[in-house]
Structure 1
Amino acid sequence: MLQVDIDTKMKFLHGLSNKTRVQILESIKEDEKTVSQIVQDLNGNQSNISQHLTCLKGCGLVVGRQDGKYVYYRVRNQLVRDLLTMIDVVLEDVEKDVACCDSHID
């Protein structure tokens, strides 16, 4: 069985622990986009989106590609896309329980 350090695993999961970051991932799940395109999709502000993209890049979920003056962001690879899809599949089964859960602890 693959062994991953628990602290590293938590840092990775941190990338998925924020609504804006998940919205960004969904926005670029199928197509690469510039920050401006992501800002438009999310109706957000550029500074905030850029900060979240930095986190997602740091967690290994997103990569950027420079093209002239623009940077295009995309989900790192098919494994990350599969993970996002699997989260949706699991949530279909447990959505009601998650929605009612009030016992989140840090």
Structure 2
Amino acid sequence: MKQVDIDTKMKFLHGLSNKSRVQILESLKEDEKTVSQIVQDINGNQSNISQHLSCLKGCGLVVSRQEGKYVYYRVRNQLVRDLLTMIDVVLEDVENDVACCDRNVE
């Protein structure tokens, strides 16, 4: 397997380091959606969601397509969906430790 540059890895992980971005990814995990649908799903505001979608696209986690006046967003591929699922699996094992950790608080 190719060795990934640590700075590139950190930029990628940055896409997962924000509550709103994780909520967006979870919203898109199964279906593509418009910004308005995502806003409704996670009870956010459109400007904020759009900014986070831009970050997620920049990190390669989300892609979009235009259809008429609507832009549809989706998780990039099955590997990203698998990653989101794997995070849940790992958290099942370490959830109590993570919940008690006071070093990584926003």
TM-score (norm 2): 0.96
Corresponding position of 2:21: 21
Separation in 1, partners of 2:56, 2:65: 14
Residue 2 (structure 1) shift: 2.5
Task: In structure 1, list runs of 5 or more residues that go unmatched.
Answer: none
Provide the rounded CA distance (Å) in 1 between the counterparts of 2:30 and 2:84: 11
Structure 1 position 94 matched with structure 2 position 99: no
**1:31 aligns to 2:44 (yes or no):** no
Give aligned-pair identity as a percent: 90
SS at match of 1:23: helix
Counterparts of residues 77-88 of structure 1 (less than 5 Å): 77-88=77-88
Stretches of structure 2 lacking an aligned partner (at least 5 in a row):
none
Q: What are the superposed Cα offsets for residues 9-29 of structure 1, whole Å, 9 maximum, x if unpaired?
A: 000000000000000000000
- Note the aligned Cα RMSD (angstroms): 1.0
User: Partners of 1:41 and 1:92 in 2: how far apart?
Assistant: 24
Letter in 1 for 2:14: H
- Deviating beyond 3 angstroms after TM superposition, the runs of 4 or more aligned structure 1 residues are none
Residue of structure 1 in register with 2:68 after alignment: 68
TM-score (norm 1): 0.96
